[in-house]
Structure 1
């Protein structure tokens, strides 16, 4: 979930606070409703697409489960409008390696959704990516802020469309577990540790950590680092202009160790956390009534998709608060998936055009667990007040943001299972007292990947 580019993606702290507020107001709307659209959604005139009867397209992404199912509904609408046949191709991380194998075999997908900025840069450097066409560019110019457009550009040329965004600075909690323990949502890291102590003492482990998926651990670190060290050092570390042996990294890891070092805080203890994959980290937090496996789970807005696999209801049983402030301000880290054409075909460009339109984003927004950086998306398309306000905060933040640090790094360091930052932080979860050893490992891997 990565370039070597300008510092980007820190949503305004005030905007996040509004997004995570527990008392949220509904967004109304007016106008003519689309068939089957939620109350308040307005009819769209529809983006112009060419007829592609008989054309077959393949779209690759690392999405699985409900996320894949919901995106397939978007592809079905594209098929309906154009006459093309579109096949979803499940990809594996690192997606650059997956695509390289496909391309070497002479069978690249027409479009790929890349979960790292670094993967986009690699695709361009390898001469796989095609620049966006004029129709897709027109949708981008109409619907996207300059910051989100620049994330999809390399060397001044537009190659990608950021179809999906993520606010990765949210902690979701089981309302019944909090109520049973008499705990309120914390606003500072110190309050979070105190709340975790109270929750665990009440018999419910505080946090469900998806330690089997290294990318979630990078998000833990990045939120702490951004709040504690500040945005300037965050940008420098993202570019490897300062070393991972820097004292600021030591401080962030030490802070993270205050949580990871308490086995009683973690669902299943340390071994349980290391064996827990992301989907389970969410579902086990929202099953079991007021005695779930854990009271909280950290991750982005997309957690809502996995909550949807339980009986819990977002906004009632499952609530959310902003990642607590470690330093002067609470952090907000964002990520996203960029759609890139890998074939110079009419169909690939038409799909990019569709994905850059509000039409496509609104289909997936209605399913929940999805956030679009497209400012033309009707807020009423989001299924509940929590997701609606998270989306509004993203749009209102404009270009005032920081992008996920590991997503900016070369994939060998920031985006490969069992290697680089993912592996180093999994080892740190297993032994949070080894701060110096973790720093040394991170620096050695970063120096190799960045080539400096």
Structure 2
């Protein structure tokens, strides 16, 4: 993809978005009552992890449903640990009407507890009409549709400082071999540390793994690994770890060396590139933009990005997506209507216009996004078609894929500390995966 497609002023600048949302949103925690309509008098509770600008923008989206139906929708933040919030409420028989889950693995877990209500009527129709097979299957359990991918995150991006690249005389790489053999090497020889690493936040390391694995092993193997149909000791896993070691094993390529790489969290690693200028590149998703702006960078100008490069001559560049899935947790009047609205291009077009948002809804037009950078990210998700994949660590049991100090997080942090034995690291991953099941 041409580099200019990854430039342009991003809509992820939190200051402007926050001002817009604050001008139009209602009081924190709820949207304005819709008044008249066929759901007048109906009160619904929606829970998600979002706070700040994300919460303000989402409540503005909910306000459109209120205006359309007359229902009153109250928003409640779950905090970062959605499971800790929902668990007691499910046990008490008082879940929110709609919850936004940050991991597909939670859809599986709650469906197994009979805590979810399948999509039906207009909600099921909206899912069928607006999403491809892959996204429909992602929110389904045993063929029953429960979830709608409401908000996506593009996780196949490497961010960089153009001034550092210009100083070293390098350009954004198109392949992994270009990244390691030319870009990183040349930067290092010019006295510029190539990477800031976010190793203290274990989820960033799983994202590294997923991008390399998807490109190197392919979508079919990726799905098999998610389902644990192949062991984590499979040659494809070992090969991915060997590939990662080409970067993780080069201590001088990482800000602060190996110790710094393991001890730096997200978003501190972003400030090491933008603001502190200790490194030239940082890998993470589109949401890096907000942290880069906080560090004083201008997205599209002093902070730019290129696609995560293809690994291998015959491989495609990976497109890994994270995001949040809306599910119904009650059979109250209006719940399926709200789910249909959340799955609609109308609701998601509204959010796209507010910024800081990407949609996997096939019916959301590129023009809904207010800048070229975000439009390009959204298009790459849609154009990847059947080869796009959701974040692997969020699809496996949370004890393995999304728990601090355990499973993938711990095994990959250990491997970052010492990437000399990929086979041993693969064995640790397999043991953790088996224990989580």
TM-score, length of structure 2 as denominator length: 0.84
Larger helix proportion of the pair: 2
Higher relative contact order (CA 8 A, sep 6+): 1
Q: Is the 8 A contact 1:22 1:320 kept in 2?
A: no
> Structure 1: how far apart are the matches of 2:84 and 2:306?
36
Moved more, 316-325 or 341-350: 341-350
- For 2:162, which of 166, 172, 175 is the aligned residue? 175
Indicate the residue corresponding to 1:350 in structure 2.
337
Q: Is the 8 A contact 2:168 2:190 kept in 1?
A: yes
> Structure 1: how far apart are the matches of 2:57 and 2:290?
10
Structure 1, residues 166-194: CA drift from partner, whole Å, max 9, x if none?
33211121222212222211122222123
- State the secondary structure of the residue aligned to 1:324: coil
1:50: how far off? 5.5
Corresponding position: 1:410 with 2:397: yes
Indicate the residue corresponding to 1:317 in structure 2.
302
Dislocated runs of 4+, deviation >6 Å:
none
Indicate the residue corresponding to 2:311 in structure 1.
326
Indicate the residue corresponding to 1:11 in structure 2.
none
- State the secondary structure of the residue aligned to 1:399: helix
> Structure 1: how far apart are the matches of 2:88 and 2:342?
25
Alignment of 1:26-425 (within 5 A): 52-53=39-40, 55-64=42-51, 66-81=53-68, 82-93=70-81, 95-193=82-180, 194-288=182-276, 292-327=277-312, 328-329=314-315, 330-425=317-412
Moved more, 168-177 or 138-147: 138-147
Q: Is the 8 A contact 1:204 1:295 kept in 2?
A: yes
Q: Is the 8 A contact 2:319 2:384 kept in 1?
A: no
> Structure 2: how far apart are the matches of 1:280 and 1:53?
47
- State the secondary structure of the residue aligned to 2:386: coil
Q: Is the 8 A contact 2:47 2:76 kept in 1?
A: yes
Moved more, 251-260 or 364-373: 364-373
- For 2:413, which of 426, 432, 442 is the aligned residue? 426
Q: CA RMSD in A?
A: 2.7
Q: Is the 8 A contact 2:152 2:321 kept in 1?
A: yes
- State the secondary structure of the residue aligned to 1:337: strand
> Structure 1: how far apart are the matches of 2:188 and 2:362?
41
> Structure 1: how far apart are the matches of 2:37 and 2:164?
52
> Structure 2: how far apart are the matches of 1:174 and 1:100?
43
Q: Is the 8 A contact 2:51 2:77 kept in 1?
A: no
1:372: how far off? 0.2
Structure 1, residues 390-416: CA drift from partner, whole Å, max 9, x if none?
212322333343332222212221122
TM-score, length of structure 1 as denominator length: 0.82
> Structure 1: how far apart are the matches of 2:280 and 2:149?
33
Q: Is the 8 A contact 1:96 1:122 kept in 2?
A: no
Structure 1, residues 281-327: CA drift from partner, whole Å, max 9, x if none?
33442325xxx132212122333343343432322222221111222
**Gaps in structure 2 of 5+ consecutive residues:** 9-19, 22-35
Query: CA 1:52 to 1:181, structure 2 compared with 1: closer, same or farther past 3 Å?
Result: farther
> Structure 2: how far apart are the matches of 1:205 and 1:51?
61
> Structure 1: how far apart are the matches of 2:289 and 2:347?
19
